[in-house]
């Protein structure tokens, strides 16, 4: 049976993994943006990519504190999703709205992983839970922002 430190480190590494996905996802979204009619989305995507870089930087010391090594992996589902984005963009050029739709799906997955980790982290130290909950709240704001941009976008 795993000890509490191993379980907590595993949960933290799940968060690092989904942040790695989010970073790569926004990098992919930036690369797919049309040069005309991107509505300033590059700055928004860079902001959320940088947010996940900061989230990772906040989580890494917590993993070390639990006696484990931080992961540098991404989720398999994230890799498959980015590959799908590449194939789709090769067939038909991405519109800004289509990219926002893809980003929102990524934010949905991010939100789900954070919710799952919060539910499983009841034995984690309070300061750690506070960091995780704060990140989840900021990500929810990002999700809603991406959703609102998509909803207000003319294809």
What sign does the dihedral 15-20-111-50 (CA atoms) show? positive
Backbone angles phi, psi at 34, to 5 degrees: -65, 145
Question: What is the spatial distance between Cα 50 and Cα 56, in angstroms, rounded to a whole number?
Answer: 10
Give per-residue pLDDT as tens, 113-131.
999 999 998 878 899 999 9
The pLDDT of residue 26: 92
Q: Exposed, middle or buried, 60 (CB in 10 Å: 0-12/13-18/19+)?
A: middle
More confident residue, 24 or 56: 56
Tell me the mean pLDDT in the region 145-151: 95
Q: Which domains does the chain have, with CATH numbers?
A: 4-151 (1.20.1260.10)
CA distances (Å), origin 64, targets 9, 52, 99: 8, 19, 36
* Among the listed residues 8, 21, 3, the one whose alpha carbon sits nearest the alpha carbon of residue 128: 8
81 has a pLDDT exceeding 60: no
Residue 2 has pLDDT above 90, yes or no: no
pLDDT range class, residue 34, cuts 50, 70, 90: confident
The token duo for 42 is: 């590059």
Residue 91 has pLDDT above 50, yes or no: yes
């Amino acid at each position: 049976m795993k000890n509490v430190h191993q379980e907590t480190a595993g949960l933290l590494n799940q968060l690092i993994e989904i942040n790695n996905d989010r970073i790569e996802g926004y990098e992919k979204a930036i690369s797919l943006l049309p040069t005309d009619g991107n509505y300033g989305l590059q700055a928004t995507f860079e902001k959320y990519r940088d947010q996940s870089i900061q989230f990772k930087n906040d989580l890494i010391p917590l993993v070390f504190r639990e006696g484990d090594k931080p992961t540098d992996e991404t989720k398999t589902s994230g890799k498959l999703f980015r590959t799908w984005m590449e194939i789709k963009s090769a067939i038909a050029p991405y519109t800004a709205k289509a990219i926002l739709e893809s980003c929102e799906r990524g934010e949905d997955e991010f939100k789900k992983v954070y919710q799952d980790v919060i539910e499983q982290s009841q034995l984690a130290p309070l300061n750690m839970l506070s960091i995780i909950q704060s990140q989840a709240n900021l990500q929810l704001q990002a999700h809603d922002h991406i959703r609102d941009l998509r909803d207000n976008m003319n294809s």
